[in-house]
Amino acid sequence: MKPAIVLYKTLPADLRQKLDEHFSVTAFDELSHQTFPAFLQALKNAEGLIGSGGRIDADLLAQAPKLRAASTISVGYDNFDVDEMTRRNVLLMHTPTVLTETVADTLMGLMLATARRIPELDAWIRDGHWNDSLGADHYGTDVHHKTVGILGMGRIGMALAQRAHFGFGMKVLYNTRTPNPEANQKYQAQHCDLDTLLAQSDFVCITLPLTSQTHHMIGRAQLDKMKKSAILINAGRGPVIDEDALIEALKDGTILAAGLDVFEREPLPHDSDLMKLKNVVLAPHIGSATHETRYGMAECAVDNLIAALNGTVKENCVNPQIAVKN
């Protein structure tokens, strides 16, 4: 008999077929209030779980006594209780690498769009204001040859450093708990403490995972340490920034502007003050959202689940100590 799994995301037809060849699949388009009771019911027999989003916490895991592996269609896994999964011998698989270059493109895009005010001026044209030549009120700020401070110098941070260094001639500073010698060797990137990075960077770019250590790593005190001309970019996770403090800093001119792909609450509430600020560029968590990369992530997640349930895991496992035990 094929192992039972629960799928909670719509997959491309060929990948869905691949799952059906290996498993008995109970499928939901997404997790929602409507689908949740049936999802819980299906979890009771499930050995595998695949999808993205949702909170997979201890209470939910307790309702999935047969679960052996979960495969998230994302690299970030802050929505999973990894300790509890490990305690229960449940493998957690994720999709690093396949999305790295695309997310770095998004970060570079946000830097350019924010510095050069592209969405704001697009709206200005559409509103019928382009009747004369532009004045200084509408000028932006240069990106090339400035200093970028990257928080997190893992896969995505490195891909951003490559673009910044070779493409834009930028000086690269970065902050991590452990220095990354490759970043220095390839991109002349300098490891520094957070305060130095904040004080010296023209662009502060967040590529950090969300953990108890990175939660609200950027709050009022850190924003106060940035240059008044600085631009803050976040494509890591929303709660790395204290969003109320950021809104205040954008309103009172503590920093110049922000480009945000991730938020403390997603979807961003319609009454968020961020929507009212011209010096913010907003993106709806599109870091990896290209046709090619979303397909690659889904394919990687499907292969990850097959490997996890077949006992052939070689990569992409968050808690590999279990794979060894199994």
Ligand X SMILES: NC(=O)C1=CN([C@@H]2O[C@H](COP(=O)(O)OP(=O)(O)OC[C@H]3O[C@@H](n4cnc5c(N)ncnc54)[C@H](OP(=O)(O)O)[C@@H]3O)[C@@H](O)[C@H]2O)C=CC1
Binding site for ligand LL5AMS7Z (CB under 6 A): 74-76, 99, 287-288
Residue/partner pairs of 280-286 with CB below 8 Å, 24 or more apart: 280/114, 280/250, 281/110, 281/113, 281/114, 281/118, 281/119, 281/120, 281/257, 283/106, 283/110, 283/259, 285/261, 286/106, 286/261
Closest separation in Å from C-beta 250 to ligand X: 20
Q: Which is nearer to ligand LL5AMS7Z, 75 or 92 (CB)?
A: 75
Amino acid identity of 55? Answer: R
Whether residue 84 lies in the annotated active site: no
For 75, phi then psi, to 5°, come to: -90, -35
Q: Which is nearest to 202 in space by CA: 178, 177, 180, 173?
A: 173
Closest separation in Å from C-beta 227 to ligand LL5AMS7Z: 28
Q: Which is nearest to 208 in space by CA: 131, 103, 55?
A: 103
Closest separation in Å from C-beta 288 to ligand LL5AMS7Z: 5
Identify which range of 38-46, 84-92, 111-119, 210-218 contacts ligand X by CB under 6 A.
210-218
Closest separation in Å from C-beta 225 to ligand LL5AMS7Z: 27
Identify which range of 61-69, 84-92, 153-161, 163-171 contacts ligand X by CB under 6 A.
153-161
Output b/e per residue, 33-44; b: 16+ Cβ within 10 A.
eeeeeebeebbe
d(CA 122, CA 115): 14
Applying the rule CB under 6 A, the residues between 164 and 203 that interact with ligand X are 175-178
User: What is the full DSSP assignment across 65-82?
Assistant: TT--EEEESSS--TTB-H
Whether residue 220 lies in the annotated active site: no
Set 47, 237, 243, 299: catalytic member: 237
Q: Which is nearer to ligand LL5AMS7Z, 198 or 262 (CB)?
A: 262
Does 160 contact ligand X by CB under 6 A?
A: no
Does 111 contact ligand X by CB under 6 A?
A: no
Set 55, 129, 266, 292: catalytic member: 266
Applying the rule CB under 6 A, the residues between 7 and 66 that interact with ligand X are none
Active site (catalytic) residues: 237, 266, 285
